[in-house]
């Protein structure tokens, strides 16, 4: 793929800045590891490597973690450690015209620390930010190479075949659906008949779709998947639940937190009030379970996986870990080659056997785009995944990449997070 | 330990009946595997081995699964397969005086199939049932050996050092608390400050206590554990949440579903109503989260692990799997030695290094008893676990015992469940 833009590269060595952005994943630190370990192999181009404490906020407040102060063991351990080791933030920079000051502050900090490379590890919002930084730097005549590193459990970035972070949450959800399904099947004749598992995905149903990997035949759970892409139809849903309980003795439902009525209202906002009369935030699973109870009276259970799913490094997908590392490595390699304003992507060569390579696309092609589950991946009735979807998803959860354990628990690393000395006297108010 | 009772053993070979009871676990099938594989080594005593379809219900309805119809691979695979392969039931037999007919029916079915050995794999209720069957059989002059096989995620059986099933749910909860804790820590400065994880344990807080293994120092999650054993004090709890957020930047809470006010009301029943005005069943996590929001306004998230925790064979404790198999094996060995009306137990020889052996106690000593978390295992403030508790818990989550995987998912087995031909013309109405 073509370079989008080339900075006026200085031949001198310059420093680099890496930041984690948005909701964390089981493998975002593996991308950090890829960036960091690759930087050490390019010491001709890359001087110091800094990581933003709390992502981009660390740049704005000049809180730059000096990565060289971490031990090699800690840095290697990032590959098997979930969540954001340097801190992540949901902080979204506004448009250049709305808040130019923030971007100028970023450049000010970058200039103070001679940062010539900016790696931003996040989703579509973050790619937009990286693009804007690149544009403003160019306007201001400050030479910097901006590279996006894809990350999101939601799998909603365009152009890349998949997003690092997704494969592992998909594996957790598929495994949990399989296991809970066996549990419910064991006792359905005398106990719980309906089980509802709520998973993430506010706008795209990729994670919910992954639950579908747990079963291959109609009688195998999950029997129903509720996607954000399919407007919720209460009557059809309740009929399907009844059919499943009648035919199979039980019904396992995977519901996306983004499941919504035709008018766009989330099911989760559909009227649950707590003791204080506040709308209960989150929790579409109890809403769906109560709906089933009221219509059919079946005994039910529900689970809300929440952070457990995206932090579940203990059951990460090996493919996902490898791809997360690979995009971090590729980002650094592109940067030192002088390619600017791009994001590495995963390119699928074949599904069976699974073969993938890396490519890259301009940040402008990714920024603020969102990829949803296509209709042909969802069965005609709207409640399941098709064979095409299975073919797409299956390779992404393949392989196990267990963390090392100590005393029965995963031996995750924690960075010291020593900050570089500040060089600016100015402070930035968040 | 002394034998409690010896049946008039016939020297002839007799058939055996095995049933799973109550809520299933990640390792109850490993106990089944221990019973079954050991039976084949005692073919001088044990003829056919039947498993109850849906536990004791299978005996009452004469739905006896012929275990010899399953392949050796399937039977071996039970060791790594969660939930109840033969079906389990919460069906509780009433007292002998209240419903003698049920017990007589059991004996009738046992007699029709020449069942001389009864293995009941469950918790305290089940041990009571096994004891009553033994007593009535004796009154009726029907020779049968009744052995209990301990199982419960709640870890609330007395006499045994721990219960098979608990170590694995403990490991899932400790690992999940560790992982979700890292997630929250990554983003707390700019996002979620309070995370609540709801775990099982309606009367005993062992599972919640296991969450405490995730952290060793005060700043490490979980910062607060809410036990059923400690009456909930809203003000003290909210103060502690605020202290944690102030001191550490965030607060991770593990709450037992059985957490209750001093008057015994469950927090989960404390007034949440759904859109239809029904009391919201289950879900103490959202109640606790809303309490924190209303008092302090912190951004929060919550998760309800529900069946995910007790079915999580993918992250089972190796010690737990071994003990589950061992009690099944011991049950069969005790039976063929002519020991009656007992339950094998785990006896701890030392904690560091962990050494355990097997013993057995009379069913009468176990029936309807419940072991709670002792006060000395809970910190003086009621919100954490002590070093003594950690010493008790740590060995139980030790070691990994991963299932085999195929195409990215655990390769769990399913039994065919072929029923033996009925010999009775009478039917039993449940």
Q: Are residues A20 and A127 located together in one domain of the fold?
A: yes
C-beta atoms of B24 and A213 within 8 A: no
Q: How many residues does chain B have?
A: 430
* pLDDT band per the 50, 70, 90 thresholds, residue A3: very low
* pLDDT band per the 50, 70, 90 thresholds, residue B3: very low
**Does residue B388 lie within any of the structural domains?**
no
**Could you tell me if A74 and A365 are in contact, meaning their C-beta atoms sit under 8 angstroms apart?**
no
Q: Are residues A196 and A246 located together in one domain of the fold?
A: yes
Q: Are residues A148 and A28 located together in one domain of the fold?
A: yes
**Does residue B46 lie within any of the structural domains?**
yes
**Does residue B97 lie within any of the structural domains?**
yes
User: Which residues 163-192 of A have a C-beta within 8 angstroms of B?
Assistant: 171, 174-176, 178-180, 182-187, 189-191
Q: What is the pLDDT of residue A234?
A: 97
pLDDT tens readout for residues B211-232:
999 999 999 999 999 999 999 9
Q: Are residues A19 and A97 located together in one domain of the fold?
A: yes
Q: How far apart are the C-alpha atoms of A252 and A244, rounded to whole Å?
A: 9
Model confidence, pTM:
0.95
**Does residue A428 lie within any of the structural domains?**
no
Q: Are residues B335 and B296 located together in one domain of the fold?
A: no
> Picking from A268-282, A292-306, B110-124, which range would have the lowest pLDDT averaged per residue?
A268-282
Q: Which of A54, A128, A154, A161 is catalytic?
A: A154
Q: Which of B125, B128, B154, B156 is catalytic?
A: B154
Q: Are residues A297 and A324 located together in one domain of the fold?
A: no
Q: How far apart are the C-alpha atoms of A365 and A97, rounded to whole Å?
A: 20
Q: What is the pLDDT of residue B280?
A: 46
Q: Is B139 on the interface with A (CB under 8 A)?
A: no
C-beta atoms of B175 and A409 within 8 A: yes
Contacting residues of B for A400, CB less than 8 Å apart: 402, 405
Least Cα distance to B165 among B53, B361, B20 occurs for B20
Q: Are residues A182 and A139 located together in one domain of the fold?
A: no
Q: What is the pLDDT of residue B367?
A: 79
Report whether pLDDT(B45) > 80: yes
Report whether pLDDT(B278) > 90: no
Q: What is the pLDDT of residue A428?
A: 85
How distant is the Cα of B81 from the closest Cα of chain A, in angstroms?
Answer: 9
Report whether pLDDT(B68) > 70: yes
Contacting residues of B for A305, CB less than 8 Å apart: 303, 308
Kindly report the number of other CB atoms within 10 A of residue B111's CB atom. 15
Tokens representing residue B124 in the block: 């305290």
Q: What is the pLDDT of residue B11?
A: 59
- Alpha-carbon separation of residue A428 from A22, A86, A100, A422, B46 (angstroms): 21, 20, 13, 12, 79
C-beta atoms of A179 and B270 within 8 A: no
Report whether pLDDT(B275) > 80: no
C-beta atoms of A312 and B179 within 8 A: yes
Chain-centroid distance of CA A62 in Å reads 26
Q: What is the pLDDT of residue A89?
A: 93
Mean pLDDT of B91-108: 87
Q: Are residues B275 and B344 located together in one domain of the fold?
A: no
Tokens representing residue A290 in the block: 């109560």
CATH of residue A216's domain is 3.40.50.460
Q: What is the pLDDT of residue B282?
A: 62
Work out the percent of chain B whose per-residue pLDDT is above 90.
Answer: 87
CATH of residue B55's domain is 3.40.50.450
| Structural domains in chain A (count) | 2
Mean pLDDT of chain A: 93
* pLDDT band per the 50, 70, 90 thresholds, residue B396: very high
pLDDT tens readout for residues A16-71:
999 999 999 999 999 999 999 999 999 999 999 999 999 999 999 999 999 999 99
**Domain end position, chosen among B310, B325, B341:** B310
* pLDDT band per the 50, 70, 90 thresholds, residue B151: very high
**Does residue A263 lie within any of the structural domains?**
yes
pLDDT tens readout for residues B113-132:
999 999 999 998 899 999 99
Structural domain for A272, as ranges: 166-310
Of residues A270 and B283, more confidence is placed in B283
**Does residue B93 lie within any of the structural domains?**
yes
Q: Is A84 on the interface with B (CB under 8 A)?
A: yes
Q: Which residue of A has its CA nearest to B170?
A: A408
**Does residue B363 lie within any of the structural domains?**
yes
pLDDT tens readout for residues A136-147:
999 999 999 999
Q: What is the pLDDT of residue B100?
A: 87
Q: Are residues A145 and A57 located together in one domain of the fold?
A: yes
pLDDT tens readout for residues A346-386:
999 999 999 999 999 999 999 877 899 999 999 999 999 99
ipTM of the assembly?
Answer: 0.95
Least Cα distance to A87 among A60, A57, A115 occurs for A57
**Domain end position, chosen among B310, B335, B358:** B310
Mean pLDDT of chain B: 93
Interface contacts (A, B; CB < 8 Å): 249
**Could you tell me if A138 and A131 are in contact, meaning their C-beta atoms sit under 8 angstroms apart?**
no
* pLDDT band per the 50, 70, 90 thresholds, residue B57: very high
Least Cα distance to B424 among B66, B114, B108, B136 occurs for B108
Report whether pLDDT(A93) > 50: yes
Q: What is the pLDDT of residue B1?
A: 41
Q: Are residues A285 and A328 located together in one domain of the fold?
A: no
* pLDDT band per the 50, 70, 90 thresholds, residue B98: confident
**Does residue A372 lie within any of the structural domains?**
no
Tokens representing residue A93 in the block: 């920079």
Q: Are residues A110 and A192 located together in one domain of the fold?
A: no
Q: Are residues B121 and B181 located together in one domain of the fold?
A: no
């Amino acid at each position: 793929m073509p370079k989008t833009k080339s900075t006026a590269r200085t031949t001198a060595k310059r420093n680099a800045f890496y930041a984690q952005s948005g909701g964390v994943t089981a493998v975002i630190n593996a991308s950090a590891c890829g960036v960091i370990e690759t930087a050490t192999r390019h010491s001709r181009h890359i001087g110091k490597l800094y990581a933003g404490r709390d992502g981009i906020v660390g740049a704005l407040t000049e809180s730059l973690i000096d990565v060289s102060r971490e031990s090699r063991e800690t840095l290697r351990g990032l590959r098997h450690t979930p969540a954001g080791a340097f801190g992540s933030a949901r902080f979204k920079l506004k448009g250049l015209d709305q808040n130019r000051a923030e971007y100028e502050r970023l450049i000010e900090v970058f200039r103070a620390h001679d940062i010539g490379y900016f790696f931003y590890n996040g989703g579509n919002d973050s790619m937009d930010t990286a693009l804007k930084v690149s544009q403003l730097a160019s306007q201001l005549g400050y030479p910097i190479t901006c590279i996006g590193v894809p990350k999101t459990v939601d799998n909603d970035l365009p152009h890349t075949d998949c997003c690092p972070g997704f494969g592992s949450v998909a594996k957790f959800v598929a495994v949990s659906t399989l296991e809970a399904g066996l549990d419910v099947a064991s006792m359905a004749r005398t106990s719980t008949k309906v089980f509802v598992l709520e998973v993430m995905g506010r706008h795209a149903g990729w994670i919910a779709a992954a639950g579908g990997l747990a079963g291959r035949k109609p009688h195998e759970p999950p029997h129903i998947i509720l996607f954000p892409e399919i407007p919720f139809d209460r009557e059809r849903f309740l009929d399907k639940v009844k059919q499943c309980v009648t035919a199979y003795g039980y019904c396992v439902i995977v519901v996306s937190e983004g499941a919504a009525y035709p008018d766009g209202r989330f099911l989760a906002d559909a009227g649950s009030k707590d003791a204080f009369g506040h709308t209960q935030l989150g929790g579409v699973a109890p809403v769906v379970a109560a709906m089933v109870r009221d219509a059919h009276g079946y005994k039910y259970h529900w689970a809300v996986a929440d952070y457990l799913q995206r932090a579940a490094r203990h059951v990460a997908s090996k493919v996902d870990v490898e791809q997360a590392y690979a995009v971090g490595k590729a980002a650094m390699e592109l940067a030192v080659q002088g390619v600017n304003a791009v994001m590495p992507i995963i390119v699928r060569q074949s599904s069976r056997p699974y073969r993938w390579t890396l490519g890259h696309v301009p940040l402008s092609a990714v920024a603020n785009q969102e990829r949803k589950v296509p209709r042909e991946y969802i069965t005609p009735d709207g409640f399941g995944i098709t064979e095409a979807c299975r073919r797409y998803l299956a390779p992404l959860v393949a392989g196990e990449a267990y963390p090392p354990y100590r005393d029965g628990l995963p031996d995750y690393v924690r960075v010291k997070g020593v900050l570089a000395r500040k060089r600016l006297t100015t402070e930035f108010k968040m």
